[in-house]
């Protein structure tokens, strides 16, 4: 099973990963972290490998006048290799990928093989999906895909249900941080 959080940005995917970890799921994957804006230089990007690091730089310095993509293919390849090794080691409940982006959509690279490996192993996948790559994602994922709002509580609930081997476990799963809880009957009794 694969769920795409359409329109989810870097911060939303980091919140999703944090919610899943807080709910006790064993994660593999990566979320993007960026330098804060306002430094007067191009923002540097890194991928924080799940569950607990390290951060792998994925920006290349191309000079002040450079335009276009600053993604460092070698940095991305290193992050992907480490995520694939974590998946291969086993014990992963959910693969979280920051986004199905240009590398995955146009070049068949990036985390595409890691996503496929997770799906083949029966590991649910959550990923961010920029609208620009929705068509390529649809071709890649086919009928395995489910689309979710970019909401950490919804993604956490989906992941807990996807990881549940039985309905009883799904009912006994820990609550997702940020999820609305049922307050029960309200009003005067």
pLDDT (tens digit per residue) in 61-117: 665 655 556 788 899 999 999 999 999 999 999 999 999 998 999 878 999 999 999
What pLDDT was estimated at residue 156?
A: 87
Q: What percent of the chain shows pLDDT beyond 90?
A: 48
Q: Average pLDDT of the chain?
A: 82
Helix (H, G, I), strand (E, B) or coil at 77: helix
For domain 2-36+44-61+68-170, give the fold. Answer: Rossmann fold (3.40.50)
What are the tokens at 122?
A: 């029966």
Q: Cα(126)–Cα(95) distance, rounded to whole angstroms?
A: 6
Per the model's pLDDT, the better-predicted residue between 156 and 118 turns out to be 118
Q: Cα(159)–Cα(66) distance, rounded to whole angstroms?
A: 40
State the maximum Cα–Cα separation within the chain, in Å, rounded to a whole number.
69
Nearest C-alpha neighbor of 153 from the set 12, 52, 25:
12
Q: CA 83, 89, 128, 24 torsion: positive or negative?
A: negative
Indicate the domain borders of the chain.
2-36+44-61+68-170
């Amino acid at each position: 099973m694969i769920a795409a959080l359409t329109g989810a940005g870097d911060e939303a995917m980091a919140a999703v990963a944090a919610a899943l970890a807080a709910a006790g799921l064993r994660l593999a994957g990566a979320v993007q972290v960026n330098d804060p804006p306002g430094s007067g230089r191009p923002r540097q990007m890194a991928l924080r490998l799940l569950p607990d690091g390290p951060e792998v730089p994925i920006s290349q310095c191309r000079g002040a006048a450079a335009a276009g993509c600053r993604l460092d293919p070698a940095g991305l390849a290193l992050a992907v290799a480490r995520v694939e090794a974590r998946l291969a080691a086993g014990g992963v409940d959910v693969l979280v990928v920051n986004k199905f982006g240009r590398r995955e959509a146009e070049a068949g690279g990036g985390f595409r093989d890691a996503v496929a490996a997770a799906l083949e192993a029966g590991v649910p996948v959550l990923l961010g999906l920029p609208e620009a790559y929705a068509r390529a994602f649809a071709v890649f994922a086919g009928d395995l895909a489910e689309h979710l709002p970019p909401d950490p509580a919804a993604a956490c609930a989906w992941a807990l249900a996807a990881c549940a081997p039985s309905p009883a476990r799904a009912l006994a799963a820990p609550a997702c941080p940020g999820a609305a809880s049922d307050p029960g009957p309200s009003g005067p009794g």
